[in-house]
């Protein structure tokens, strides 16, 4: 369903060039949930944006649903893949009501029946009529993220990209959103690609997981392997260790250089 072949993204040029993504190749089969985990600067969000078609200057091949994606995507190609962003505060236009935000994609693609579609989308993500005409600042973080999910799904995509969808949310709300995402994925038979820095969250939702650092894929493993600690690369082991929590007795302070 998703196939990346030597995708690279760099910014700037010459001595100050930053290679955000270096020759990343991976493939995700239909209906699978694939996770990308790494720390900040690892390039995981950039990979996601390259798949979404938000980085026209990305190099390499991106093949979605059998079609190779060009630099500038057509409207039909856009319909195939949608994304839920990390920041529920930044991904909704502050001057538009929920209704307007959800009606726009329907209008762009001329899908018809906007009123019914918007109402159905809201119902699916657990929001009610009372939320439909509110502005983003009148909604809680969890509610905004639900709107973002509704917006992603209203175009009925085949692929859903998730960029740290719960890291800006409270713990209790995170559980609700993760459960919602799992259910929607099942109901709509979506192929999902999720990015996070939190191993537990990724392992909860995804079967196969790739670990990224410094723009490259270090290791590809499964959630089960992570859970049992059977990983090969040292960096992955370090991530697992950190994920276990702070250890007062065992903490070793390392001098930092930069």
Partner 1 sequence: MTDTVAWRGWLLDPAPASRRQARLGRWYRAWMAFRRNGLAMTGLGVVLARVFMALVAPLVADPGTANLQVLEDRLQPWSAAHWFGTDELGRDILVRLLFGARITLTIVALVSLIVVPVGLGIGLPAGYFGGWIDAVLMRITDIFLSFPRLVLALAFAAALGPGIENAVIAISLTTWPPYARLARAETLTRRRAEFIEAAELQGASHLRIILTQIVPLCLPSVIIRLTLDMAGIILTAAGLGFLGLGAQPPAAEWGAMVSSGRQVLLDQWWVSTIPGVAIFVTSLGFNLLGDGLRDVADSRSA
Partner 2 sequence: MSEAPLLKVRNLRVTYPGDEGDFVAVRGISFALGRERLGIVGESGSGKSTTGRAIMGLVGEPGRVEADEMRLGETDLLRLDERGFRGLRGKRVAMILQDPKYSLDPVMTVGHQIAETHRCHFQSNAKVARAAALEMLAAVHIRDPERVYALYPHQVSGGMGQRVMIAMMLIAGPDLLIADEPTSALDVTVQHQVLAIMDDLVRRRGMGLILISHNLHLVSAFCDRVLVMYAGRVVETCAASRLAEARHPYTRGLLASLPELGRRRTELPQLQRDPAWAMEAS
Considering CB distances under 5 to 8 angstroms, the limit depending on partner class, which of partner 1, partner 2, none binds residue 204? partner 2
The nearest distance, CB 82 to partner 1, in angstroms, is: 6
| Rounded CA separation 67/53 (Å) | 13
Considering CB distances under 5 to 8 angstroms, the limit depending on partner class, which of partner 1, partner 2, none binds residue 15? none
The nearest distance, CB 223 to partner 2, in angstroms, is: 7
Considering CB distances under 5 to 8 angstroms, the limit depending on partner class, which of partner 2, partner 1, none binds residue 249? none
Ramachandran assignment for 152, one of left (phi > 0), alpha (psi -120 to 50 degrees), beta (any other): alpha
Considering CB distances under 5 to 8 angstroms, the limit depending on partner class, which of partner 2, partner 1, none binds residue 57? none
The vertex-194 CA angle with 119 and 54, nearest 5°, equals 80
Measure Cα distances from 171 to 87, 168, 206 in Å. 15, 9, 19
Length reported for the chain: 258
The nearest distance, CB 60 to partner 1, in angstroms, is: 20
Considering CB distances under 5 to 8 angstroms, the limit depending on partner class, which of partner 2, partner 1, none binds residue 141? partner 2
| Rounded CA separation 56/79 (Å) | 17
The residues binding partner 1 (CB under 8 A) are 49, 52-54, 73-75, 78-79, 82-83, 85-87, 90-97, 99-100, 104-105, 108-109, 129-131, 133-135, 138, 148, 151, 155
Q: Which candidate, 43, 41, 135, places its Cα nearest to that of 89? A: 135
CB distance 63 to 28 below 8 Å: no
The nearest distance, CB 92 to partner 2, in angstroms, is: 17
**Complex with partner 1: residue 49 or 185, whichever CB lies closer:** 49
């Amino acid at each position: 369903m998703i196939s990346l072949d030597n995708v690279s993204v760099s910014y700037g040029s010459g001595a100050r060039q930053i290679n955000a993504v270096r020759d990343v190749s991976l493939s995700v089969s239909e209906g699978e949930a694939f996770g990308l985990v790494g720390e900040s600067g690892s390039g995981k969000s950039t990979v996601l944006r390259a798949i979404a078609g938000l980085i026209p200057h990305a190099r390499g091949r991106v093949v979605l649903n059998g079609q190779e994606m060009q630099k500038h995507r057509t409207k039909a190609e856009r319909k195939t893949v949608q994304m839920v962003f990390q920041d529920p505060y930044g991904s909704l236009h502050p001057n538009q009501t929920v209704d307007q935000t959800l009606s726009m994609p329907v209008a762009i693609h001329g899908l018809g029946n906007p009123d019914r579609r918007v109402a159905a989308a809201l119902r699916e993500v657990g929001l009610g009529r009372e939320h439909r005409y509110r502005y983003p600042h009148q909604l809680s973080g969890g509610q905004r993220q639900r709107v973002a999910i509704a917006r992603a799904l209203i175009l009925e995509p085949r692929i859903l990209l998730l960029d740290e969808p719960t890291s800006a949310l409270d713990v209790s709300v995170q559980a609700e959103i993760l459960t919602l995402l799992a259910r929607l994925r099942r109901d709509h038979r979506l192929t999902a690609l999720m990015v996070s820095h939190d191993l537990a969250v990724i392992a909860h939702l995804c079967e196969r997981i790739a670990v990224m650092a410094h723009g490259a894929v270090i290791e590809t493993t499964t959630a089960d392997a992570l859970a049992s600690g059977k990983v090969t690369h040292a960096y992955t082991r370090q991530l697992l260790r950190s994920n276990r929590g702070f250890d007062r007795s065992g903490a070793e302070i390392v001098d930092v250089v930069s």
